[in-house]
Structure 1
């Protein structure tokens, strides 16, 4: 088929949704950061002025990403992934420490967070590995390699430490599952989370008893040919051991602020003036917005600076307070539309590599959306995850843009892959 320009082949529906989200983000950053004596939108002393600069560089970044041949991303995936890992390692030598985390490089007045850009590199690396026709995730060695690609950056990020970013990478296991990773990996993960929460809420003996009952029920409901007393016994011992160890891990491995956030989430601790302050104030702000909100620039919680970091991780509180349920629903629907569009495009790719990369993009964005909004409304611990395209920051905006537009470049190129 004859080559056509990227401008004709790019999915403009996705570009439109992306543009709307970036615009909504800037409008709410402006509101969250506006001070009485400054209404000049290019005021570089304010975050909304800086965000405009970031958006301007983003346009240049999009042009560069779309100008590069789509095959480049597949051909040089190993180099891209390797450079990303080196950038994470370099933090331990030249990184900048902020709030106890060594997650950034300081470049003059700017900071760059390499873990954000590593998400694209890891999604590319998984796509490259899984698109090999000889790879079969029923093979244990192939499973280890696939999980290794995922957990190498996770290990480096946890050492920073940055649990929020590490969580995003963990969720890319769904990409592996989509390509054949046995379901027991996912069920093991879900089971560990459930046992962890139960062990925090109940006494160990009760958790062990519930675990025993669950294993017995599973044994008798399994098909006779799959019943194995020894295997069931081993599973019970492992689950019981994990349950009993939770308390030790929670008290000796978790940091104090992590313990506080879990205790508040589970209702074991009330500290509205301390560790629970952010979440409490964000809930108040969103709740006060009602159905249609208080109006742009009219949010009293926003103007009173009651919610810390409102222009970054808590930007959704400004949406909820000033635009109400209606505005929040529109933002969530735009997110959902973007994700569904990415999945639709992924399913229609002509190459396995671009299809799998599309799943990686959807996985990263969905996890950010879900965790951030859940955190803001108080159903998930506060872990510092930005809301894609809305939260303030050059690293997050640029990294999400690269992640998305690499896929759009692949999609635009599929007309040449017949």
Structure 2
């Protein structure tokens, strides 16, 4: 859809024609001190709260109050199998089979648990490849794994870098790295959507390339889950991890998700950390049996899950189930395209969008560089009622989320930005 038009009338018309526009009313939209709704563009950092979340959590508080320990089996949503209530919906969101997905732990913890199993260094094949501007937590995690195994975290870390004066990564450069060092690389671990540029990588292409050279391949999909159609199963990746508090709207610091490809589902010999929640459900409470690992992603669990956090995830996933990731990404492409169109009207000399132009290579985030400005611009946008995200050294990230952002949000955002620039 490239026939966008200028003017408020057009934005209103698009909102009237949008079958998902009613969902905005199902979220709490932050307000300023005068009670005016803010334009919220940071779903890529923390998603807004669905209005249903409170009742989902209250149900568990009520069952805990009334049932105590019996809530594990007698609650309206029994706590013992609670994580199973999320599995199919989450699998649909990330394009996986239910056996490949589990909700557990937090993001970087899951990344470490996956590396216990899928980073298997030898004396000759021990290096890890990541993108040069990976999210800091990913970089710290892989560096610590290298040190843990006795390797130099500088010499053993290979960075896939953009070319000089470019921001985006090129596959040709990744191919060159693997051609030269593929035999030394034990693990490729890339962010599915880069947090800074918003570049959405071709996961299947990267996985096939890595496997061709005998590397394990994993993805951190924190900025991708609930944002783009991931198709994790079809990608062939060995594993993936993601958080649920960005596009999956489950609340600050909420539980994370984990994907382990079906081909590893029944491999009991994979090295892993274990706990009683990865043990056979039928004999778990016999307490004295030898460990018997569950098949699939569930076999990486350690502990019984925090129900209140899972209730918030369930509230959000029920909405995703209702709409489907396909419709959400269709609207996302229209919103983001419209945003790009309006930004380009501001003049190429002032605004530079570092996110890829192609809708197939990005989600809903646009990363904007404004020439000859600093963080003051971001502060002025905030004062004007736009919640966006500043990333050093000079980028403002905005994410028009299809669940709760509208064409009018984007119209007014760009209008305010234009006014500040002038």
Normalised to the residue count of structure 1, the TM-score between the two structures is 0.29
Q: Give 1 or 2: higher strand fraction.
A: 2
